[in-house]
Amino acid sequence: ESFAGKTKVWRKKGVAASQVRDVTQCHGYSLTNLLNFFSGQRLNISSLNTTTNDNSTSQNTTVPPTPVPYVSPGPYLVEYPHDYQYIINEPQKCEQENPFVVLIVPVAPNNRQHRDIIRKTWGSESLVQDKVVRLFFLLGLHTGEEVEQVQQQVLQESKEHHDLIQSNFVDCYKNLTIKTMVMLEWLTAHCSSPSYAMKIDSDMFLNVHNLVSMLLNAQKANYMTGLVASGGTVLRNPSSKWYLPHDIYAPPQYPRYALGLGYILSLDLPKKLVEASRHVKAVYIEDVYLGLLMQHLGIPPTDPPNWGYFHVIPLPYNRCAFSRIVATTTDPNTNREQIWNDFKNPGPYC
């Protein structure tokens, strides 16, 4: 039986689904070690209690994230049982602030540097063309060295900025599909009032003004856009980072999908995508999986109004060029704060 069928039964009957955690291929960190530190041998469980933040207080409730033995559906599939819990949450922000667009940045728990850079650059844009823009960072659990120290730092950062959402899945590349589905469930439960959400990677440059301008003229429902791939070839070489064997996905090409570097959703879609996930086996390539869900729904992603809006290959900085885009990846050696400060200087772009 497929995991989709099992989760459908779990949800309908209210049965407590087994708390599956995909820890395979997570930087070589073993399930035994993970269970050890969660059982308190390496980590004080009290530090992982759920923190729910509102404007005035932070409340701790005892909901420790306790992984149980994982039964893998295979190395190229992901088990998503819809029962992940929040360690840190901001459940009231969307309803209180009613933003036009919500920016969600998936990022590793120990990557404070990227979060701070974003807060100082495009993440600081909170009111654009009289539209409220709200930023959140989405985290899983750190593994490897200094687990307790990283978690304590994350909790302190949450108290300082109130922009973190953390769930109890293991944060690693092979779990990006889980991370994306947690994002969709969070949007469904806590952030249905905005018009749009954008998932954007932490190494991106975002022109928030152009994003808002594009969305002011976009359709309000069944809308997903970004750098849309059409006719993408399924890679069959086992050495490829994006390898999928024939028995996991037989067609030679993927359906249309928006590349994961940055895509926009109308806020009616998260609930529909979560529902569709009960019927479509989850592959570990998260943007492809969203394309499969959109195909299941019969809703193809929409091409952006300008093909020059999104860049998967880093665009060399130029004020004029950056004034015409929505988002681009950046080179790891790029000083993003310096670029942002220059970009925000007064005067003509071109």
DSSP 89-109: E-TTHHHHH--SEEEEEE--T
What pLDDT does residue 79 have? 67
What pLDDT does residue 263 have? 99
Question: How many whole angstroms separate alpha carbon 163 and alpha carbon 319?
Answer: 29
What pLDDT does residue 41 have? 29
Go through the chain and tell me how many residues it has.
Answer: 350
The 3-class SS string of 6-53 reads HHHHHHHHCCCCCCCCCCCCCCCCCHHHHHHHHCCCCCCHHHHCEEEE
Question: How many whole angstroms separate alpha carbon 328 and alpha carbon 333?
Answer: 15
> At CA 172, angle to CA 169 and CA 178, rounded to 5?
45
Question: How many whole angstroms separate alpha carbon 146 and alpha carbon 165?
Answer: 20
In order along the chain (350 residues), what is the average pLDDT of each group of 10 residues? 29 28 40 36 35 46 40 68 85 91 97 98 98 97 89 97 94 90 95 93 98 97 97 92 90 96 98 94 93 97 96 97 98 96 96
Helix 269-276 and helix 286-297, axial crossing angle in degrees, nearest 10 = 90
Non-local (6+) Cβ contacts of 99 within 8 A are: 131, 132, 133, 134, 194
Coil, strand or helix at 327: strand
State the CB neighbour count (10 A cutoff) for residue 63: 14
Cross-strand partners of 86: 167
> Which H or E element spans position 186?
helix 176-190
What pLDDT does residue 84 have? 84
The helix, strand and coil proportions of the chain, stated in percent and rounded to the nearest 5, come to 35, 20, 45
CB 134 within 8 A of CB 94: yes
Question: How many whole angstroms separate alpha carbon 296 and alpha carbon 288?
Answer: 12
Coil, strand or helix at 206: strand
Domains of the chain: 3-304 (3.90.550.10)
